[in-house]
């Protein structure tokens, strides 16, 4: 891990940054970099984000007009639209030798975007959601980040990625070196198999087993969904050891014996298949094809999730527990 004192070069001093997109990450990174003394402008389409960036006191342009002025172009639109925005508005307007940055390797790794050879292509990927990155920065700290490069035209691409991360406050918490391949493979693997896909399937299946056996949906919700956060917080704070210390011996014993019966060799095989489909581009193609087809599958899955009994029972119970929505008190881990 690198910290502030380890990042001593100055290849980004005096450079003009254009943040493309002013959403979760764009908002956080642009404000953090500006507060760290960098010259920051925003490039985004007309709409909610455009207005928000103006209100926050930035010079806001169309993507094309922001790119024309920028020495560093940090691309922070949603991943699926980056290739279109790049082809239409970034590539034709890029200054010769401008640095191009990302917070996720997806588009470069899967060659949806092929940057010009004379550009440094760098990564600065905060390991936390935007609101947490901004809040911790203001508190004088930061969220750890990954840094690295895909293409080193200047000989200083890695230095630039580190300086960028430092400007974002991340070097106060720690910087980890990565590659576009590693970051993309691991990020997709984690969210699909463990953090989001794995956890939601686990909760959903547990809820089904209990309710199909005649147990009340409300109680089932508490046992397999609501309590997930409490367990995750303990794991986050002190690993499995702290979690087990805070729980009963009965639960600890049962967990060692029955856990591997549920997530065993078959699940491991499924995860290995999932990893392979990330590495060979199968997943990326599936996702981009659905996007180019109007996200028909994504919207259908979303509708099904919203209509599920688990979601509805949870909504009813959460409405009676205002404390569960105290966002300032509880931070959300990144996926």
Residues belonging to the active site: 104
Q: d(Cα 264, Cα 284) in Å, to the nearest integer?
A: 27
Q: Are strands 121-126 and 145-151 parallel, antiparallel or unpaired?
A: antiparallel
Site for ligand NDP contains 44 (CB under 6 A): yes
Q: Say whether 294 sits in a helix, a strand or coil.
A: coil
State the binding partner of 314 from ligand NDP, Mg ion, none, CB within 5 to 8 A by kind. Answer: none
Q: Does 34 carry a binding-site annotation? A: no
Site for ligand NDP contains 100 (CB under 6 A): no
CA 69, chain centre distance (Å): 28
Radius of gyration (C-alpha) of the chain in whole angstroms: 22
- Give the one residue of 120, 158, 159, 187 binding Mg ion; rule: CB under 5 A: 187
Q: Find the part of the chain contacting ligand NDP (CB under 6 A) among 18-26, 147-155, 200-208, 231-239.
A: 18-26
Q: Does 191 carry a binding-site annotation? A: yes
Q: Find the part of the chain contacting Mg ion (CB under 5 A) among 1-9, 149-157, 183-191, 295-303.
A: 183-191
Q: Which is nearer to ligand NDP, 47 or 155 (CB)?
A: 47
Site for ligand NDP contains 130 (CB under 6 A): yes
Residue 212 near residue 183, CB atoms below 8 Å:
no
In whole angstroms, how close is the CB of 123 to Mg ion at the nearest point? Answer: 13
Q: d(Cα 321, Cα 219) in Å, to the nearest integer?
A: 15
Q: Find the part of the chain contacting ligand NDP (CB under 6 A) among 124-132, 285-293, 313-321, 324-332.
A: 124-132
In whole angstroms, how close is the CB of 184 to Mg ion at the nearest point? Answer: 9
Which of 180, 148, 152 lies closest to 165 in space, CA to CA?
148
Residues 167-206 that bind ligand NDP (CB under 6 A): none
Q: Does 117 carry a binding-site annotation? A: no
SS percent in the chain: helix, strand, coil, step 5: 60, 10, 30
Q: Does 155 carry a binding-site annotation? A: no
Report which DSSP code applies to 295.
S
Q: Say whether 21 sits in a helix, a strand or coil.
A: coil
Residue 24 near residue 16, CB atoms below 8 Å:
no
Give the Å distances, CA to CA, from 29 to 42, 89, 107, 303: 11, 21, 20, 32
In whole angstroms, how close is the CB of 252 to ligand NDP at the nearest point? Answer: 34
Q: Which is nearer to Mg ion, 21 or 120 (CB)?
A: 21
In whole angstroms, how close is the CB of 146 to Mg ion at the nearest point? Answer: 12
- Which tokens is 42 given? 């925003």
Q: Which is nearer to Mg ion, 172 or 242 (CB)?
A: 242
- Which tokens is 279 given? 């590495």
For Mg ion, the binding residues (CB under 5 A) are 187, 191
For ligand NDP, the binding residues (CB under 6 A) are 21-26, 44-45, 47-49, 63, 76-79, 81, 85, 103-104, 125-126, 129-130, 334
């Amino acid at each position: 891990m690198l910290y502030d004192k380890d990042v001593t070069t100055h290849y980004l001093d005096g450079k003009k940054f254009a943040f493309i997109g002013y959403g979760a990450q764009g908002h956080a990174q642009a404000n953090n970099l500006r507060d760290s003394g960098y010259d920051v402008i925003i490039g985004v389409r007309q709409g909610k984000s455009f207005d928000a960036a103006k209100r926050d006191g930035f010079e806001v342009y169309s993507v094309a007009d922001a790119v024309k002025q920028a020495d560093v172009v940090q691309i922070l639109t949603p991943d699926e639209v980056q290739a279109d925005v790049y082809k239409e508005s970034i590539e034709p307007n890029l200054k010769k030798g401008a640095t191009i940055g990302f917070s996720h390797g997806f588009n470069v790794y899967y060659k949806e975007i092929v940057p010009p050879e004379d550009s440094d292509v760098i990564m600065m990927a905060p390991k936390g959601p935007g609101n947490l990155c901004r809040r911790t920065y203001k508190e004088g700290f930061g969220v750890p980040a990954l840094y690295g490069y895909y293409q080193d035209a200047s000989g200083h691409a890695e230095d630039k990625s580190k300086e960028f991360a430092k400007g974002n406050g991340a070097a106060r918490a720690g910087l980890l070196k990565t590659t576009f391949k590693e970051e993309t493979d691991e990020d997709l693997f984690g969210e699909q198999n463990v953090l989001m896909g794995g956890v939601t399937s686990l909760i959903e299946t547990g809820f089904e087993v209990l309710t199909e056996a005649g147990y009340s949906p409300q109680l089932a919700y508490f046992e397999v969904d609501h309590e997930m956060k409490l367990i995750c917080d303990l794991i986050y704070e002190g690993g499995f050891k702290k979690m087990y210390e805070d729980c009963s011996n009965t639960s600890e014993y049962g967990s060692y014996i029955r856990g591997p019966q549920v997530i065993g060799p078959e699940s491991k095989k499924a995860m290995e298949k999932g990893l392979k489909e990330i590495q060979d581009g199968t997943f990326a193609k599936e996702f981009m094809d659905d996007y180019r087809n109007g996200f028909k599958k994504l919207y259908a899955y979303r509708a099904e999730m919203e209509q599920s009994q688990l979601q509805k029972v949870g909504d009813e119970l959460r409405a009676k527990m205002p404390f569960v929505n105290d966002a300032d008190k509880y931070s959300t881990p990144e996926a």
